[in-house]
Structure formats: structure tokens, C-alpha cells
Amino acid sequence: MTEYWPWWAGAAGLALTTINYAVTTDRSFGVSGAWDRVLHWRAERRVERVNAQFADERVLAEALTAATTGQFGAGSAAPAARPAPHGDARTQGQDVRPPAAASSSMASLLPAPLVSQAALLLSVLIGGWVAAVTTGRFQLRLDMGDAFGELVTDNPIAMIGALFVGGVLVGFGTRLAGGCSSGHGLNGCGRLQPVSIVATAVFFGTGVLVSFLLWKVI
């Protein structure tokens, strides 16, 4: 009989992972999104370098003003700030700067650092390996197990084809739903987002239905 970790250990691990990622990066994570970004790491690095140039809101405002002036002329630039009333000495002779909260809110809209996405994927692999080794189930094999061979196929060529088609469908569904089981199921549902709750109900309900058809009908 195959032994697994107790359910509460897995639940605690998922909860700690989700909370830790949100605290350290100020963003929610998703495995499918992380995989997509790591695969396109060259383009992501270029985007990160561009974002780093405009991390300061003052530099960004000056660049936008210069681009607007060059495109439409000097008259289209934003007017200079009006002088403060004589009775308000707090702002006379001082630059009006955007609040720090605005800067942090804009930063949270940017994608998470690429290195955090790579670390997330690496942690998934290491965590699975640790779980398999500690329970004595780690074994290198080229097939998907007896259950897969009984329900789907035990032919190696057909198995590779089925896995490839299944992977394509998973990727398509992830794009269509705007997230996967980690993005919607863990993060979205944890934040009570209606879209994530509906998406999670749909793909888990579909999984239960297909499993029932495979075991009981087919």
C-alpha cells in the first residue's frame, strides 16, 4: 500500500508556501505563470531592466513629459504646478512629491521578480523529491504506473502522445481560465475572489466527473 504524508501536513505546507510568497513578494503566485515566464526568461529580463529604469516615479513623469512634448509640442506638456496660497507656508518653495503609498502600489502592479519564479519552480521539484524519498516511494521509471497503463495505455509511444496532448490541453485551459490550480485554487480562493472560486469549482468538478467516468463507466 502506498503511504503518503498526512493531509494536515500537506495543507500546512501549502498554506505556509502561499503566505510566505505573498509576504516576501507582495504578490500571489501561480505555477503556470511562473513556468511561462521562466521559459521566456530573455524577454522577461528585458522587461525587468526597463521597469528598473522607471522605478522612480519622478523619472517616469519626466520621461512621459519629454515624450509628450516631442510628439505633440511644448504646449501639450502638463502645466507647471501652481504656487501655493500665501497663507499656506507648508508648501511654499517646496516640491510636491507623490506619497510613498502610491509608489508602493505601482510597484505591486509589476510582475514578481524572475528569480522568485525560478525559485518557486525549483522548490516544487525539490519538495516532491523530498516527499518521495522520506516515504520510500522514490523510484526512477519510464512509465506512468500500473493505473495509467490500465486506464489509458501501456504502449510507450501512445503514452508519450497522450501525455503530450494532455499537456497541451492543460496549457490551453490555463490560458483560458487565466490561472491554474495554484493561482486560482490556492491564492484566488484564499482571497475570496469570485472569479477564482468559479474557476476552481469548474476544473475540480470536471476532474471529479472525468475520474468517475474512467473508473465506473469506461
Residue 89 lies in a domain: no
Residue 71 lies in a domain: yes
Residue 61 lies in a domain: yes
- Specify the amino acid at residue 15: A
| DSSP summary character for residue 87 | T
- What's this model's pTM, rounded to 2 decimal places? 0.62
Residue 149 lies in a domain: no
Residue 200 lies in a domain: no
pLDDT in tens, 31-59: 888 888 888 888 888 888 877 776 666 76
DSSP states of 168-196: HHHHHHHHHHTS-IIIIIIIIHHTT-HHH
Q: E strands, the chain, where?
A: none
C-alpha span between 44 and 112 (Å, rounded): 10
Residue 204 lies in a domain: no
| Mean pLDDT confidence for 111-140 | 85
3-class secondary-structure state, position 100: helix
Residue 106 lies in a domain: yes
C-alpha span between 216 and 218 (Å, rounded): 6
Number of domains in the chain: 1
* Whole-number pLDDT of residue 81: 47
Quick check: 80 pLDDT over 80? Answer: no
Residue 193 lies in a domain: no
| DSSP summary character for residue 218 | -
pLDDT in tens, 5-25: 788 888 898 888 888 888 887
Write out the residue range of the structural domain in which residue 118 sits.
8-77+97-140
- The grid cell for 35 is 513556468
Produce one character per residue of 195-210: b if its CB has 16 or more CB atoms within 10 Å, e if not: ebeebbeebeeeeeee
Quick check: 101 pLDDT over 60? Answer: no
